[in-house]
Amino acid sequence: MQLKAFLNKLSKVEFERSRTSPPVESAVLKCHEFTEKIDYHCNIKGRGCFQSSNSRCCCDGCRHSVGFLKDMSPEVVLKNLSTYAELFNSKTGYWRENEGCVLPRKLRSRTCLHYHCNFKDMKPEDKMYLSFLKDGNYAACLQYIYWADKK
Ligand code: SF4
Ligand code: SF4
Protein backbone atom coordinates (compact mmCIF):
# COMPACT_ATOMS: atom_id res chain seq x y z
CA MET A 1 0.00 0.00 0.00
CA GLN A 2 1.18 3.55 -0.72
CA LEU A 3 2.58 5.35 2.29
CA LYS A 4 -0.01 8.13 2.14
CA ALA A 5 -2.93 5.68 2.07
CA PHE A 6 -1.37 3.68 4.89
CA LEU A 7 -0.91 6.81 7.01
CA ASN A 8 -4.56 7.56 6.49
CA LYS A 9 -5.46 4.11 7.85
CA LEU A 10 -2.98 4.41 10.70
CA SER A 11 -4.44 7.74 11.77
CA LYS A 12 -7.60 5.86 12.83
CA VAL A 13 -5.68 3.52 15.13
CA GLU A 14 -5.91 4.52 18.79
CA PHE A 15 -2.59 3.53 20.27
CA GLU A 16 -2.82 2.30 23.84
CA ARG A 17 -0.97 4.21 26.50
CA SER A 18 1.64 2.16 28.28
CA ARG A 19 0.56 1.33 31.85
CA THR A 20 4.17 1.26 32.98
CA SER A 21 7.12 3.25 31.69
CA PRO A 22 7.33 2.91 27.90
CA PRO A 23 9.65 0.04 26.93
CA VAL A 24 12.79 0.90 24.99
CA GLU A 25 12.59 0.01 21.36
CA SER A 26 15.36 -2.58 21.44
CA ALA A 27 13.56 -4.47 24.23
CA VAL A 28 10.33 -4.54 22.24
CA LEU A 29 12.11 -5.93 19.17
CA LYS A 30 14.05 -8.54 21.15
CA CYS A 31 11.00 -9.73 23.12
CA HIS A 32 8.79 -9.92 20.05
CA GLU A 33 11.43 -11.72 18.02
CA PHE A 34 11.87 -14.30 20.78
CA THR A 35 8.42 -15.70 19.96
CA GLU A 36 10.00 -17.38 16.92
CA LYS A 37 11.19 -20.00 19.37
CA ILE A 38 7.68 -20.74 20.57
CA ASP A 39 5.61 -23.53 19.07
CA TYR A 40 2.02 -22.27 19.09
CA HIS A 41 0.75 -25.67 17.93
CA CYS A 42 -1.52 -24.14 15.30
CA ASN A 43 -2.95 -27.13 13.54
CA ILE A 44 -3.03 -25.57 10.10
CA LYS A 45 -4.50 -27.92 7.54
CA GLY A 46 -5.52 -26.87 4.04
CA ARG A 47 -7.87 -23.97 4.43
CA GLY A 48 -7.13 -22.80 7.92
CA CYS A 49 -6.78 -24.58 11.22
CA PHE A 50 -8.98 -26.95 13.21
CA GLN A 51 -10.02 -24.18 15.57
CA SER A 52 -11.46 -21.90 12.97
CA SER A 53 -13.91 -22.24 10.10
CA ASN A 54 -12.42 -19.12 8.55
CA SER A 55 -9.48 -19.60 6.17
CA ARG A 56 -7.67 -16.67 7.76
CA CYS A 57 -8.09 -18.14 11.23
CA CYS A 58 -7.42 -15.62 13.96
CA CYS A 59 -5.96 -13.16 11.41
CA ASP A 60 -9.36 -12.37 9.95
CA GLY A 61 -9.49 -8.96 11.65
CA CYS A 62 -6.09 -7.86 10.32
CA ARG A 63 -7.30 -5.52 7.63
CA HIS A 64 -9.75 -3.57 9.79
CA SER A 65 -7.50 -3.34 12.81
CA VAL A 66 -4.35 -2.54 10.76
CA GLY A 67 -2.55 -5.58 12.16
CA PHE A 68 -3.81 -4.85 15.70
CA LEU A 69 -1.02 -2.29 15.92
CA LYS A 70 -2.83 -0.40 18.67
CA ASP A 71 -0.71 -2.09 21.33
CA MET A 72 2.58 -1.85 19.42
CA SER A 73 5.17 0.66 20.54
CA PRO A 74 4.47 3.85 18.51
CA GLU A 75 8.24 4.42 18.27
CA VAL A 76 8.71 1.06 16.54
CA VAL A 77 5.80 1.77 14.19
CA LEU A 78 7.19 5.18 13.23
CA LYS A 79 10.72 3.90 12.68
CA ASN A 80 9.46 1.09 10.45
CA LEU A 81 6.66 2.95 8.74
CA SER A 82 7.78 2.14 5.19
CA THR A 83 7.85 -1.63 5.97
CA TYR A 84 4.42 -1.49 7.62
CA ALA A 85 3.02 0.41 4.63
CA GLU A 86 4.63 -1.74 1.91
CA LEU A 87 3.44 -5.03 3.40
CA PHE A 88 -0.13 -3.95 4.16
CA ASN A 89 -2.79 -4.60 1.57
CA SER A 90 -6.35 -3.37 1.58
CA LYS A 91 -7.89 -6.86 1.16
CA THR A 92 -6.21 -9.00 3.80
CA GLY A 93 -3.94 -6.66 5.74
CA TYR A 94 -0.70 -8.48 6.50
CA TRP A 95 -2.13 -11.94 5.84
CA ARG A 96 -1.44 -13.80 2.58
CA GLU A 97 -2.91 -16.97 1.18
CA ASN A 98 -0.55 -19.98 1.68
CA GLU A 99 1.92 -17.75 3.52
CA GLY A 100 0.15 -16.47 6.59
CA CYS A 101 1.51 -13.31 8.15
CA VAL A 102 4.14 -11.45 6.14
CA LEU A 103 5.18 -9.13 8.96
CA PRO A 104 8.43 -10.17 10.67
CA ARG A 105 7.72 -11.25 14.23
CA LYS A 106 9.60 -8.38 15.78
CA LEU A 107 7.19 -5.96 14.07
CA ARG A 108 3.98 -7.78 15.00
CA SER A 109 1.73 -6.45 17.73
CA ARG A 110 1.42 -7.99 21.19
CA THR A 111 -2.17 -8.93 20.32
CA CYS A 112 -0.90 -11.05 17.42
CA LEU A 113 2.02 -12.56 19.28
CA HIS A 114 0.36 -13.55 22.51
CA TYR A 115 -2.72 -15.10 20.95
CA HIS A 116 -2.90 -18.88 21.04
CA CYS A 117 -5.81 -21.24 21.31
CA ASN A 118 -4.12 -24.61 21.74
CA PHE A 119 -3.69 -24.61 25.53
CA LYS A 120 -3.38 -28.37 25.70
CA ASP A 121 -0.16 -28.83 23.72
CA MET A 122 1.76 -25.66 24.49
CA LYS A 123 4.62 -25.79 26.97
CA PRO A 124 3.76 -24.13 30.32
CA GLU A 125 6.84 -21.88 30.11
CA ASP A 126 5.82 -20.68 26.64
CA LYS A 127 2.37 -19.85 27.96
CA MET A 128 3.97 -17.93 30.79
CA TYR A 129 6.16 -15.94 28.41
CA LEU A 130 3.16 -15.06 26.26
CA SER A 131 1.23 -13.90 29.33
CA PHE A 132 4.10 -11.50 30.17
CA LEU A 133 4.01 -10.24 26.61
CA LYS A 134 0.24 -9.85 26.69
CA ASP A 135 0.59 -7.57 29.71
CA GLY A 136 3.38 -5.57 28.09
CA ASN A 137 5.66 -6.70 30.91
CA TYR A 138 8.90 -6.41 28.96
CA ALA A 139 11.07 -6.58 32.08
CA ALA A 140 9.71 -10.07 32.83
CA CYS A 141 10.10 -11.08 29.17
CA LEU A 142 13.76 -10.03 29.20
CA GLN A 143 14.36 -11.93 32.42
CA TYR A 144 12.77 -14.99 30.87
CA ILE A 145 14.96 -14.69 27.74
CA TYR A 146 18.04 -14.39 29.93
CA TRP A 147 16.98 -17.52 31.84
CA ALA A 148 16.20 -19.44 28.63
CA ASP A 149 19.59 -18.53 27.11
CA LYS A 150 21.36 -19.85 30.22
CA LYS A 151 19.61 -23.22 30.14
S1 SF4 B 1 -3.97 -19.48 17.15
FE2 SF4 B 1 -5.70 -20.86 16.91
S3 SF4 B 1 -7.11 -19.81 15.51
FE4 SF4 B 1 -5.10 -18.87 15.31
S5 SF4 B 1 -4.08 -19.95 13.61
FE6 SF4 B 1 -3.47 -20.93 15.53
S7 SF4 B 1 -4.87 -22.61 15.77
FE8 SF4 B 1 -5.79 -21.18 14.31
S1 SF4 C 1 -0.43 -12.11 12.84
FE2 SF4 C 1 -0.01 -10.85 11.01
S3 SF4 C 1 -1.65 -11.36 9.57
FE4 SF4 C 1 -2.30 -12.05 11.60
S5 SF4 C 1 -3.51 -10.36 12.43
FE6 SF4 C 1 -1.39 -10.10 13.13
S7 SF4 C 1 -0.43 -8.77 11.62
FE8 SF4 C 1 -2.29 -9.58 10.72
**Can you tell me the distance from the alpha carbon of 23 to that of 138, in angstroms, rounded to the nearest whole number?**
7
Ligand nearest to the CA of 61: 2
For residue 116, the ligand 1 atom closest to its alpha carbon is 1
pLDDT of residue 46: 57
49 CA distance to ligand 1 centroid (A)? 6
Q: Please name the residues in contact with 8: beta carbons below 8 A apart, sequence gap of 6 or more.
A: none
Atom 2 of ligand 1, nearest CA residue = 117
Atom 1 of ligand 1, nearest CA residue = 116
pLDDT of residue 120: 86
| Contact yes or no for 73/20 (Cβ under 8 A) | no
List Cα–Cα distances, 114 to 7, 46, 136, in angstroms: 26, 24, 10
Averages of pLDDT over runs of 10 residues in the chain (151 residues) are: 91 78 85 95 66 74 95 92 96 88 95 91 94 93 92 72
50 CA distance to ligand 1 centroid (A)? 8
| Contact yes or no for 93/60 (Cβ under 8 A) | no
With a Cβ cut-off of 6 Å, ligand 1 is lined by: 40, 42-43, 49, 51-52, 57-58, 115-118
List Cα–Cα distances, 12 to 18, 103, 130, 145, in angstroms: 18, 20, 27, 34
